Chains A and B, each alone.
Chain A
Amino acid sequence: MVEWTECERATIKDIFAKLDYDSVGPAALSRCLIVYPWTQRYFGNFGNLYNAAAIMGNPNVAKHGTIILHGLDRGVKNMDNMKDTYAELSVLHSEKLHVDPDNFKLISDCLTIVVASRMGKAFTGEVQAALQKFLAVVVSSLGRQYH
Protein backbone atom coordinates (compact mmCIF):
# COMPACT_ATOMS: atom_id res chain seq x y z
CA MET A 1 0.00 0.00 0.00
CA VAL A 2 1.27 3.45 -0.79
CA GLU A 3 1.88 5.71 2.19
CA TRP A 4 1.04 9.39 1.74
CA THR A 5 2.08 12.14 4.12
CA GLU A 6 -0.46 14.84 4.95
CA CYS A 7 1.73 17.27 3.05
CA GLU A 8 1.68 15.10 -0.09
CA ARG A 9 -2.10 14.72 0.06
CA ALA A 10 -2.60 18.45 0.45
CA THR A 11 -0.13 19.21 -2.35
CA ILE A 12 -1.84 16.87 -4.81
CA LYS A 13 -5.31 18.19 -3.99
CA ASP A 14 -4.01 21.73 -4.31
CA ILE A 15 -2.38 21.14 -7.69
CA PHE A 16 -5.51 19.61 -9.18
CA ALA A 17 -7.85 22.19 -7.60
CA LYS A 18 -5.96 24.96 -9.40
CA LEU A 19 -5.54 23.14 -12.72
CA ASP A 20 -7.24 24.45 -15.86
CA TYR A 21 -8.19 21.03 -17.25
CA ASP A 22 -9.22 22.32 -20.66
CA SER A 23 -5.82 23.93 -21.12
CA VAL A 24 -3.40 21.61 -19.31
CA GLY A 25 -4.86 18.36 -20.67
CA PRO A 26 -4.56 19.34 -24.34
CA ALA A 27 -1.12 20.91 -23.71
CA ALA A 28 0.20 17.73 -22.07
CA LEU A 29 -1.12 15.33 -24.71
CA SER A 30 0.02 17.47 -27.65
CA ARG A 31 3.46 17.90 -26.04
CA CYS A 32 3.69 14.12 -25.67
CA LEU A 33 2.77 13.54 -29.33
CA ILE A 34 5.41 16.11 -30.40
CA VAL A 35 8.26 15.20 -28.05
CA TYR A 36 7.73 11.43 -28.35
CA PRO A 37 6.31 11.07 -31.87
CA TRP A 38 6.01 7.27 -31.70
CA THR A 39 3.09 7.81 -29.30
CA GLN A 40 1.10 8.96 -32.34
CA ARG A 41 0.65 5.29 -33.20
CA TYR A 42 -2.38 5.18 -30.89
CA PHE A 43 -4.14 8.08 -32.55
CA GLY A 44 -4.31 7.01 -36.19
CA ASN A 45 -7.91 8.17 -36.52
CA PHE A 46 -7.36 11.63 -35.01
CA GLY A 47 -6.74 13.35 -38.33
CA ASN A 48 -3.81 15.66 -39.04
CA LEU A 49 -0.82 15.01 -36.74
CA TYR A 50 1.69 15.92 -39.41
CA ASN A 51 3.63 18.56 -37.51
CA ALA A 52 3.69 20.38 -34.18
CA ALA A 53 1.31 23.13 -35.34
CA ALA A 54 -1.19 20.57 -36.65
CA ILE A 55 -1.03 18.58 -33.40
CA MET A 56 -1.49 21.66 -31.22
CA GLY A 57 -4.45 22.80 -33.31
CA ASN A 58 -6.09 19.37 -33.60
CA PRO A 59 -9.51 19.37 -31.84
CA ASN A 60 -9.44 15.58 -31.31
CA VAL A 61 -6.13 15.88 -29.47
CA ALA A 62 -7.51 18.72 -27.35
CA LYS A 63 -10.66 16.79 -26.45
CA HIS A 64 -8.71 13.65 -25.59
CA GLY A 65 -6.19 15.59 -23.51
CA THR A 66 -9.01 16.83 -21.31
CA ILE A 67 -10.39 13.27 -20.97
CA ILE A 68 -6.99 11.97 -19.86
CA LEU A 69 -6.63 14.69 -17.25
CA HIS A 70 -10.09 14.00 -15.84
CA GLY A 71 -9.01 10.36 -15.61
CA LEU A 72 -6.46 11.51 -13.04
CA ASP A 73 -9.30 12.92 -10.91
CA ARG A 74 -10.22 9.38 -9.92
CA GLY A 75 -6.76 8.93 -8.47
CA VAL A 76 -6.89 12.25 -6.63
CA LYS A 77 -10.19 11.22 -5.00
CA ASN A 78 -8.95 7.71 -4.14
CA MET A 79 -5.31 8.12 -3.26
CA ASP A 80 -5.46 5.23 -0.82
CA ASN A 81 -6.78 2.72 -3.30
CA MET A 82 -5.47 3.58 -6.74
CA LYS A 83 -4.92 -0.04 -7.69
CA ASP A 84 -8.65 -0.84 -7.60
CA THR A 85 -9.63 2.61 -8.82
CA TYR A 86 -7.69 2.13 -12.07
CA ALA A 87 -8.32 -1.61 -12.57
CA GLU A 88 -11.02 -1.04 -15.19
CA LEU A 89 -8.96 1.57 -17.07
CA SER A 90 -5.96 -0.74 -16.91
CA VAL A 91 -7.91 -3.53 -18.60
CA LEU A 92 -9.14 -1.04 -21.21
CA HIS A 93 -5.63 0.18 -22.04
CA SER A 94 -4.32 -3.39 -22.22
CA GLU A 95 -7.09 -5.35 -23.88
CA LYS A 96 -8.82 -2.79 -26.07
CA LEU A 97 -6.38 0.07 -26.70
CA HIS A 98 -3.21 -2.07 -26.67
CA VAL A 99 -1.08 0.74 -25.28
CA ASP A 100 2.49 -0.13 -24.32
CA PRO A 101 2.59 0.84 -20.61
CA ASP A 102 5.99 2.53 -21.10
CA ASN A 103 3.97 5.31 -22.74
CA PHE A 104 2.28 6.17 -19.45
CA LYS A 105 5.61 7.42 -18.13
CA LEU A 106 6.09 9.59 -21.22
CA ILE A 107 2.80 11.44 -20.89
CA SER A 108 3.42 11.63 -17.15
CA ASP A 109 6.70 13.50 -17.76
CA CYS A 110 5.01 15.85 -20.23
CA LEU A 111 2.24 16.58 -17.73
CA THR A 112 4.85 17.35 -15.05
CA ILE A 113 6.51 19.84 -17.39
CA VAL A 114 3.22 21.52 -18.34
CA VAL A 115 2.17 21.83 -14.69
CA ALA A 116 5.63 23.25 -13.90
CA SER A 117 5.26 25.89 -16.61
CA ARG A 118 1.82 26.91 -15.27
CA MET A 119 2.78 26.96 -11.59
CA GLY A 120 6.12 28.69 -12.08
CA LYS A 121 8.10 29.26 -8.87
CA ALA A 122 5.33 27.61 -6.82
CA PHE A 123 6.41 24.31 -8.40
CA THR A 124 9.12 23.68 -5.82
CA GLY A 125 11.14 20.48 -5.49
CA GLU A 126 8.72 19.24 -2.83
CA VAL A 127 5.69 19.88 -5.06
CA GLN A 128 7.45 18.16 -7.97
CA ALA A 129 8.28 15.17 -5.77
CA ALA A 130 4.65 14.82 -4.65
CA LEU A 131 3.26 15.12 -8.18
CA GLN A 132 5.79 12.65 -9.59
CA LYS A 133 5.03 10.19 -6.77
CA PHE A 134 1.29 10.51 -7.47
CA LEU A 135 1.78 10.04 -11.22
CA ALA A 136 4.10 7.06 -10.62
CA VAL A 137 1.36 5.35 -8.60
CA VAL A 138 -1.21 6.07 -11.34
CA VAL A 139 1.22 4.68 -13.94
CA SER A 140 1.81 1.57 -11.86
CA SER A 141 -1.94 1.04 -11.31
CA LEU A 142 -2.66 1.47 -15.01
CA GLY A 143 -0.09 -1.20 -15.82
CA ARG A 144 -1.32 -3.62 -13.20
CA GLN A 145 -3.88 -5.59 -15.27
CA TYR A 146 -1.61 -6.20 -18.24
CA HIS A 147 -0.75 -9.84 -18.82
Chain B
Amino acid sequence: MSLTEKDKAVVKALWAKISTHADAIGGDALGRLLVVYPQTKTYFSHWPDLSPNSPSVKNHGKTIMSGIALAVSTIDDLKSGLQELSEKHAFKLRVDPANFKILSHCILVVLAIMFPKEFTPEAHVAMDKFFCGVSLALAERYR
Protein backbone atom coordinates (compact mmCIF):
# COMPACT_ATOMS: atom_id res chain seq x y z
CA MET B 1 0.00 0.00 0.00
CA SER B 2 2.73 2.46 -0.96
CA LEU B 3 1.98 6.10 -1.67
CA THR B 4 1.08 6.89 -5.27
CA GLU B 5 1.97 10.25 -6.82
CA LYS B 6 -1.68 11.21 -6.38
CA ASP B 7 -1.57 10.31 -2.66
CA LYS B 8 1.53 12.45 -2.18
CA ALA B 9 -0.10 15.38 -3.97
CA VAL B 10 -3.24 15.08 -1.83
CA VAL B 11 -1.18 14.88 1.39
CA LYS B 12 0.91 17.92 0.44
CA ALA B 13 -2.19 19.91 -0.55
CA LEU B 14 -3.95 19.11 2.72
CA TRP B 15 -0.82 19.83 4.73
CA ALA B 16 -0.55 23.25 3.06
CA LYS B 17 -4.05 24.06 4.33
CA ILE B 18 -3.63 22.70 7.86
CA SER B 19 0.03 23.31 8.74
CA THR B 20 -0.61 26.75 10.27
CA HIS B 21 -2.73 24.93 12.85
CA ALA B 22 -0.18 22.16 13.41
CA ASP B 23 0.41 23.03 17.07
CA ALA B 24 -3.30 22.91 17.90
CA ILE B 25 -3.76 19.67 15.96
CA GLY B 26 -0.85 18.02 17.76
CA GLY B 27 -1.97 19.14 21.20
CA ASP B 28 -5.56 17.98 20.66
CA ALA B 29 -4.47 14.64 19.17
CA LEU B 30 -2.06 13.87 22.00
CA GLY B 31 -4.53 15.00 24.67
CA ARG B 32 -7.14 12.83 23.07
CA LEU B 33 -4.76 9.82 22.87
CA LEU B 34 -4.14 9.96 26.62
CA VAL B 35 -7.89 10.03 27.36
CA VAL B 36 -9.16 7.54 24.78
CA TYR B 37 -6.26 5.09 25.19
CA PRO B 38 -5.23 5.43 28.84
CA GLN B 39 -2.51 2.79 28.48
CA THR B 40 -0.49 5.40 26.55
CA LYS B 41 -0.09 7.40 29.76
CA THR B 42 2.57 4.87 30.74
CA TYR B 43 5.00 6.66 28.42
CA PHE B 44 4.53 10.00 30.16
CA SER B 45 4.73 9.10 33.84
CA HIS B 46 7.43 11.76 34.19
CA TRP B 47 4.99 14.60 33.39
CA PRO B 48 3.29 16.35 36.31
CA ASP B 49 0.04 16.95 34.41
CA LEU B 50 -1.42 14.65 31.75
CA SER B 51 -4.68 16.55 31.23
CA PRO B 52 -5.50 17.65 27.66
CA ASN B 53 -4.71 21.36 28.13
CA SER B 54 -1.57 20.99 30.21
CA PRO B 55 1.64 22.68 29.03
CA SER B 56 3.45 19.31 28.77
CA VAL B 57 0.77 17.92 26.46
CA LYS B 58 0.54 21.06 24.31
CA ASN B 59 4.31 21.27 24.00
CA HIS B 60 4.73 17.65 23.09
CA GLY B 61 1.92 17.92 20.55
CA LYS B 62 4.05 20.56 18.79
CA THR B 63 7.04 18.22 18.82
CA ILE B 64 5.01 15.42 17.28
CA MET B 65 3.68 17.67 14.52
CA SER B 66 7.17 18.88 13.65
CA GLY B 67 7.95 15.20 13.06
CA ILE B 68 4.90 15.01 10.78
CA ALA B 69 6.11 18.13 8.94
CA LEU B 70 9.46 16.43 8.41
CA ALA B 71 7.63 13.39 7.07
CA VAL B 72 5.65 15.52 4.60
CA SER B 73 8.87 17.13 3.35
CA THR B 74 10.56 13.74 2.93
CA ILE B 75 7.47 11.98 1.61
CA ASP B 76 9.42 10.59 -1.35
CA ASP B 77 11.72 8.62 0.97
CA LEU B 78 10.21 8.29 4.43
CA LYS B 79 12.66 5.60 5.48
CA SER B 80 15.66 7.91 5.04
CA GLY B 81 13.84 11.04 6.09
CA LEU B 82 12.70 9.56 9.40
CA GLN B 83 15.76 7.41 10.12
CA GLU B 84 16.97 9.55 12.98
CA LEU B 85 13.52 9.68 14.55
CA SER B 86 13.22 5.93 14.09
CA GLU B 87 16.44 5.37 15.98
CA LYS B 88 15.23 7.67 18.74
CA HIS B 89 11.94 5.79 19.09
CA ALA B 90 13.66 2.41 18.85
CA PHE B 91 16.60 2.83 21.20
CA LYS B 92 15.75 5.71 23.47
CA LEU B 93 11.97 6.02 23.76
CA ARG B 94 11.14 2.35 23.09
CA VAL B 95 7.54 3.13 22.20
CA ASP B 96 5.64 0.01 21.18
CA PRO B 97 4.94 0.55 17.45
CA ALA B 98 1.27 -0.40 17.94
CA ASN B 99 0.86 3.05 19.41
CA PHE B 100 1.75 4.74 16.10
CA LYS B 101 -1.53 3.44 14.69
CA ILE B 102 -3.67 4.77 17.50
CA LEU B 103 -1.98 8.18 17.51
CA SER B 104 -2.52 8.30 13.72
CA HIS B 105 -6.22 7.58 14.31
CA CYS B 106 -6.42 10.41 16.87
CA ILE B 107 -4.81 12.84 14.41
CA LEU B 108 -7.35 11.83 11.76
CA VAL B 109 -10.20 12.43 14.24
CA VAL B 110 -8.81 15.92 14.97
CA LEU B 111 -8.58 16.65 11.24
CA ALA B 112 -12.24 15.58 10.87
CA ILE B 113 -13.23 17.94 13.68
CA MET B 114 -11.14 20.94 12.63
CA PHE B 115 -11.42 20.60 8.85
CA PRO B 116 -14.72 18.82 8.09
CA LYS B 117 -14.93 20.22 4.55
CA GLU B 118 -11.32 19.51 3.57
CA PHE B 119 -11.14 16.07 5.18
CA THR B 120 -13.04 14.37 2.38
CA PRO B 121 -12.93 10.58 1.91
CA GLU B 122 -10.22 11.10 -0.73
CA ALA B 123 -8.12 13.16 1.68
CA HIS B 124 -8.80 10.57 4.40
CA VAL B 125 -7.50 7.62 2.38
CA ALA B 126 -4.35 9.51 1.36
CA MET B 127 -3.65 10.62 4.96
CA ASP B 128 -4.34 7.12 6.30
CA LYS B 129 -1.86 5.66 3.82
CA PHE B 130 0.61 8.43 4.66
CA PHE B 131 0.40 7.72 8.40
CA CYS B 132 0.82 3.99 7.69
CA GLY B 133 3.99 4.90 5.78
CA VAL B 134 5.21 7.17 8.57
CA SER B 135 4.53 4.46 11.18
CA LEU B 136 6.42 1.91 9.11
CA ALA B 137 9.38 4.26 8.68
CA LEU B 138 9.37 5.06 12.40
CA ALA B 139 9.47 1.35 13.24
CA GLU B 140 12.24 0.65 10.69
CA ARG B 141 15.15 0.65 13.14
CA TYR B 142 13.40 -1.31 15.92
CA ARG B 143 14.91 -4.72 15.11
The yes or no verdict on A and B being binding partners is yes
Interface residues of A (CB under 8 A from B): 30-31, 34-35, 52, 55-56, 109, 112-114, 116-121, 123, 125-126, 128-129, 132
**Chain B interface mostly:** helix
Q: Tell me if A116 and B112 are in contact (CB < 8 A).
A: yes
- A119–B116 Cα distance when bound, in Å, is 10
How many A-B contacts at CB < 8 Å in the complex? 52
1/0 contact trace for B110-143 toward A, CB 8 Å? 0011001001111011001000000000000000
- Given contacts A120-B116, A123-B109, 10 further A-B pairs with CB under 8 A are A30-B121, A35-B121, A113-B119, A116-B112, A117-B116, A125-B31, A125-B32, A126-B35, A128-B36, A129-B35
Q: Which of A113, A117, A129 contacts B36 (CB 8 A)?
A: A129
Q: CB of B81 within 8 A of chain A?
A: no
Q: Tell me if B121 and A52 are in contact (CB < 8 A).
A: yes
Q: CB of B105 within 8 A of chain A?
A: yes
B109 proximity list for chain A (CB < 8 A): 112-113, 116, 123, 128
